[in-house]
Copies of this chain bind each other. A is one copy, B any other.
Amino acid sequence: MLTNIKINEERLWDSLNEMALIGATDKGGVNRQALTDLDKQSRDLFISWCKKENLSISIDQMGNIFARREGKNNALAPIMSGSHLDTQPTGGKYDGALGVLCALEAIRTLNEFNYITEAPIEIVMWTNEEGCRFPPAMTGSAVFSGLHDLNDALLIKDQSGTTLGSELARINYNGSTICSHRPIGGFIEVHIEQGPILEIENKNIGIVTGAQAQKWYEINITGMEAHAGPTPMTIRKDALVASAEIVLLVNSIGNNFQPGGCATCGVLEIANPSRNVIPGNCFLTIDFRHPIDKSLQKMDKELRKNIKLIEKDKKVEIEIKQILELKSNSFNKSIINTIKDVSNNLNYTSKEIISGAGHDAVNINSIAPTAMIFVPCIDGISHNEIENIYKEDAIRGTEVLLHSIIELANNSSKIINN
């Protein structure tokens, strides 16, 4: 390890803070949803920073941005690192931006030290990772990996009916580079943990060995609208009461599949709600996760079995549609070992960990050797305006990334596919 090469800590921290001004909320968070004007501003700023570092920029049909630094041998596949700049509506400063700006800081450091790696290096910013405005999540990296059809992705609509493709064109990020995978020597994504484990166990670095399996669902509940006053309780077909039963069912399935299970209803909408109308139609989303594929299948079975009972009991019709399935994931052992060695050499404490959240790295893992570095976040909180990290943890994560990139870019032939 080249111990003389060190990142510029203040430069890293300043860039994180400057990026966090775009979409900053009163409560200290960031609301910078995919393909809004604010997303465009963050992309423009990122590109201006990359151009200062003499990186060559390319933008693909999904608006994914690649910033390339040439190596000594440019026939080698690049080592790639990055994450996303879009956020949840109640997002924080670091979910996504950290991974992009750690990679930028690594490049800035290499430039400062005039250090040229063997293989080229690319920073990437993936489009629409959060999926809150244009579900499902991680669309940019999914299309790049061939897991999602380009044209389908461009036609995804937000709640107002606007398509992802038209918004991409509106903010001028509908690039011309074909969005499809090409040889990548290795991919590392730095990300905040978004959970409490590293903090509770007092570890500096999370070495992510894989990701949980996921299933997302959309549920439509159809009952009968009627006046809340003169409609006797016994003849009601209340879609909200049925929805409430499903929310509690989902929560109990999460509790019953421990350790590791997570189950969440994030969206519940009543059609044409009114205080004195019995709800007739509801829309509900479900997010199921488990580290073990088989357990997730059992959660699915429990859900479907019990929804049938609720349907009968509450005299409503329930339509259940699975809209996303991710198998559990194992990352690349060579890259995991590189991260572990670098972390040990820097005398940081570390822990192997499974990601509960989905990440672009999970998609890229299907086409290239991939791993992730987790940085602890305070109280394990993310997707919340009070999401926060310690500066020292951001620095440590970036140092591990920098030296892992150097290691991999200089020895990319030694990366073995799992």
Residues of chain A whose beta carbon lies under 8 Å from any beta carbon of chain B:
88-90, 130-132, 135-137, 193-197, 212, 214, 216, 224-233, 235, 238, 240-241, 243-245, 247-248, 251, 254-255, 258, 261-280, 285, 287, 289, 355-358, 380-385
Check B380 against A274 for contact (C-beta < 8 Å): no
Check A279 against B261 for contact (C-beta < 8 Å): no
CB distance from A191 to the nearest CB of B (A): 10
Residues of B within 8 A of A224 (CB): 381, 384
Check A227 against B272 for contact (C-beta < 8 Å): no
CB distance from A352 to the nearest CB of B (A): 15
In the assembly, how many copies of this chain are there? 2
Check A229 against B266 for contact (C-beta < 8 Å): no
Check A277 against B90 for contact (C-beta < 8 Å): yes
Check B276 against A131 for contact (C-beta < 8 Å): yes
Check B229 against A355 for contact (C-beta < 8 Å): yes
Check B232 against A195 for contact (C-beta < 8 Å): yes
Residues of B within 8 A of A382 (CB): 226-227, 230
Check A228 against B276 for contact (C-beta < 8 Å): no
Q: List 30 A-B pairs, Cβ < 8 Å.
A: A88-B274, A90-B280, A131-B275, A136-B275, A137-B276, A195-B227, A195-B231, A216-B275, A224-B384, A226-B383, A228-B264, A229-B262, A229-B287, A229-B355, A230-B355, A230-B357, A230-B382, A231-B356, A233-B255, A243-B244, A244-B244, A244-B248, A264-B276, A266-B273, A267-B270, A267-B274, A268-B270, A277-B384, A278-B383, A280-B384
> Which residue from chain B places its CB closest to the CB of A384 in the assembled complex?
B225
From A214, A251, A261, residue with most partner B Cβ within 10 Å: A251
The 3 closest A-B pairs by CB, nearest first: A195-B230, A230-B356, A229-B357
Known contacts A224-B381, A228-B287, A268-B273; is-contact A248 B245 (Cβ 8 Å): yes
